[in-house]
């Protein structure tokens, strides 16, 4: 896939982005997946740019042109499809260094969206808008414009079934589409599985201000936020979280591609006493049983109200020590998609946290497009995690 033209284009066209991505992965120099991590950061930054541009145009519901035939009729926007196209294309075409480092596996992507509706007659307007959005984003980077066919094929690369051998990229182009549409939190979540295990993860969180989330968490514990720090936080919004197996987890400002020297920070979970802890859960009450989570929290000694945020942003917030736990208790027949957890889970684990199902079993990403696990997700620093699992056991018996 990588030909001379593409390599030359990368050198010429994405200089500032490539430098920033190099800086963003500086802490990982020498890691086995360093080249993959660099291209993953570059792809997620491009998708974040696309999502931000789309969100500026978004009037609520106007972009929600398609719904899925699942129980909740999940929304899919022009940005979900555009972000999947741009990440898939970037992974395949900007991957020169990563490919050399890889074992020679062909490209495999397990991703949430497909192009079936876009290829239909009634999808023609949405198709035009997706191609426009992708090309507007690429135009600002000097990368070449994509044809309609290239956009559709890039989206359809995401049909892989994954599995327990070889490499598979795992992508949620917009996790938290409801948050995206409602101008709340959302994430572009990209992970790489090698022999069934996540070995790197990148989470782009364009709407996140860690200062603000920190203040929200503190106000949930009863102290009042100061207006001056809220104002300062405005400028810092947007984070990229990244991790490589056994090399740690890091956070960097998402817009630091224009910055010569972005401040990359190593992140760690913060194991506070249960009385100090804040747990997080979905905004959508249909995604998780909030009443049961409350009982588990109380049983574990947590007194603060939950902090409700959409998407895997929750994993990034806990990995940075700004909140303590994430609990998710969906309907018993709900199977979790691997793209809803792969990036967040490795970032949490590399930051010193533990992520399991509600029975305390490690997440198994090796059995296809859905997690091979029991119901529920619990993520927290080790001691609190054990307390929460013990409480779940006690409450279920
Ligand atoms: N009934 C359900 N129970 C649990 N999760 C669900 C669900 N329906 C959809 N989801 C998933 O919940 C994700 C959002 O996570 P959260 O609830 O933490 O914000 C959605 O991701 P998308 O927005 O990518 O579709 C979707 O995959
Ligand atoms: Mg969805
Ligand atoms: Mg999702
Ligand atoms: Mg999604």
In angstroms, what CA-CA distances link 69 with 78, 158, 167?
17, 19, 30
**Nearest to 192, CA basis, from 184, 200, 181:** 200
**Residue 5 known to be catalytic:** no
Whether residues 279 and 357 fall in one domain: yes
Q: What is the pLDDT of residue 131?
A: 98
Q: What is the pLDDT of residue 31?
A: 87
Closest approach atom of ligand 1 to CA 334: 3
How remote is the CA of residue 291 from the centroid of ligand 1, in Å? 18
**Residue 177 known to be catalytic:** yes
Residue 228 included in any domain: no
**Predicted TM-score (pTM) of this structure:** 0.88
Give the binding-site residues of ligand 1, using a 6 Å CB cut-off: 71-72, 74, 112, 172, 174-177, 282, 284, 286-287, 310-311, 330-331, 334, 337, 340
286: CATH = 3.40.190.80
Three-state helix/strand/coil letters over 198-244: EEEEEEEECCCCHHHHHHHHHHHHCCCCCHHHHHHHHHCCCEEEEEE
Range of the domain at 371: 274-396
Closest approach atom of ligand 1 to CA 337: 27
Q: Which of 137, 177, 212, 356 is catalytic?
A: 177
**Nearest to 216, CA basis, from 351, 294, 306:** 306
87: CATH = 3.30.540.10
Q: What is the pLDDT of residue 270?
A: 97
Burial of 184 (0-12, 13-18, 19+ CB in 10 A): middle
Residue 30 included in any domain: yes
Residue 379 included in any domain: yes
Whether residues 66 and 153 fall in one domain: yes
Backbone φ and ψ of 33, nearest 5°: -110, 20
Give CA angle at 329 (201, 202), nearest 5°.
Answer: 10
CA 305 – CA 293 distance, rounded (Å): 11
310 belongs to an annotated ligand binding site: no
Q: Please give the chain's pLDDT, 397 residues, in tens.
A: 222 222 222 222 222 233 334 455 555 667 899 999 999 999 999 999 999 999 887 754 454 556 665 544 567 899 999 999 999 999 999 876 566 556 677 899 999 999 999 999 999 999 999 999 999 999 999 899 999 999 999 999 999 999 999 999 999 999 999 999 999 999 999 999 999 999 999 999 999 987 644 434 433 433 332 333 333 333 448 999 999 999 999 999 998 654 445 678 999 999 999 999 999 999 999 999 999 999 999 999 999 999 999 999 999 999 999 999 999 999 999 999 999 999 999 999 999 999 999 999 999 999 999 999 999 999 999 999 999 999 999 999 8
Q: What is the pLDDT of residue 10?
A: 24
Q: List Cβ neighbours of 267 (8 Å cut-off, separation of 6 or more).
A: 241, 249, 250, 251, 319, 320, 321, 351
Whether residues 378 and 287 fall in one domain: yes
Ligand minimally distant from the alpha carbon of residue 176: 1
Residue 178 included in any domain: yes
* Number of structural domains the chain divides into: 2
Whether residues 107 and 256 fall in one domain: yes
Closest approach atom of ligand 1 to CA 331: 3
Residue 90 included in any domain: yes
Q: What is the pLDDT of residue 101?
A: 59
């Amino acid at each position: 896939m990588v030909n001379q033209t593409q390599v030359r284009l990368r050198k010429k066209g994405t200089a500032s982005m490539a430098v920033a991505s190099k800086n963003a992965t500086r802490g990982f120099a020498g890691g086995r997946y360093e080249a993959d991590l660099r291209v993953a950061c570059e792809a997620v930054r491009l998708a974040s740019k696309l999502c931000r541009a789309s969100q500026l145009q978004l009037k609520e519901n106007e972009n929600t042109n398609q719904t899925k035939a699942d129980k909740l009729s999940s929304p899919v926007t022009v940005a979900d499809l555009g972000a999947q196209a741009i990440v898939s294309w970037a992974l395949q075409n900007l991957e020169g260094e990563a490919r050399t480092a890889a074992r020679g596996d062909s490209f495999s992507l397990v991703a949430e969206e497909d192009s079936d509706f876009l290829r239909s007659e009634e999808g023609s307007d949405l198709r035009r808008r997706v191609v426009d959005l992708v090309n507007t984003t690429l135009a600002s980077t000097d990368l070449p414009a994509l044809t309609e066919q290239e956009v559709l094929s890039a989206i359809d690369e995401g049909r892989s079934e994954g599995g327990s051998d070889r490499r598979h990229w795992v992508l949620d182009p917009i996790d938290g589409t409801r948050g995206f549409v409602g101008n709340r939190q959302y994430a572009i979540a990209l992970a790489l599985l090698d022999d069934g295990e996540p070995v790197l993860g990148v989470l782009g969180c364009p709407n996140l201000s860690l200062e603000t989330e920190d203040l929200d968490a503190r106000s949930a514990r009863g102290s009042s936020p100061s207006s001056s720090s809220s104002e300062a936080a405005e400028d810092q919004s947007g984070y990229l979280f990244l991790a490589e197996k056994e090399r740690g987890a890091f956070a960097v400002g998402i817009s630091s591609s224009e910055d010569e020297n972005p401040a990359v920070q190593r992140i760690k979970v913060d194991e506070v006493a249960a009385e100090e802890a804040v747990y997080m859960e979905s905004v959508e009450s249909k995604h998780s049983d909030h009443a049961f989570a409350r009982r588990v929290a109380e049983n574990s000694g947590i007194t603060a109200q939950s902090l409700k945020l959409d998407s895997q942003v929750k994993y990034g917030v806990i990995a940075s020590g700004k909140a303590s736990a994430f609990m998710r208790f969906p309907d018993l027949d709900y199977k979790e998609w691997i793209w809803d957890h792969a990036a967040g889970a490795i970032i949490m684990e590399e930051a010193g946290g533990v992520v399991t199902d509600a029975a305390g079993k490690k997440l198994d990403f090796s059995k296809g497009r859905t997690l091979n696990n029991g119901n529920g997700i619990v993520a927290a620093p080790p001691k609190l995690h054990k307390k929460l699992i013990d409480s779940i056991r006690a409450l279920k018996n």
